[in-house]
Structure 1
């Protein structure tokens, strides 16, 4: 019974780590997208 609980806890931790990684990647991609859009806007102005 205890090993099963331990496995489920480890599994949950892995899922949370994966979600955090995905969120971090998403934030980085969002920042890159915003920067590229801002650069395009600046080009359009000049």
Structure 2
């Protein structure tokens, strides 16, 4: 360890904010586009225009 006597203290609000932002980012950039793509017709989605 580089700093053996340095305690790491993370406030609860910072941890909760980080988890919340991570969940929101995952939903916006993962789940929502996947749900929209799942509604498409596969033949139409794979066709080249």
* TM, length-normalised to structure 2: 0.51
- Structure 2: which 5+ runs fail to align? 1-8
- Structure 1: which 5+ runs fail to align? none
Displacement of 1:34 in angstroms is: 2.9
CA RMSD of aligned residues (A): 2.7
Q: For this pair of structures, how many residues does the alignment match?
A: 37
Larger proportion of helix: 1
* TM, length-normalised to structure 1: 0.53
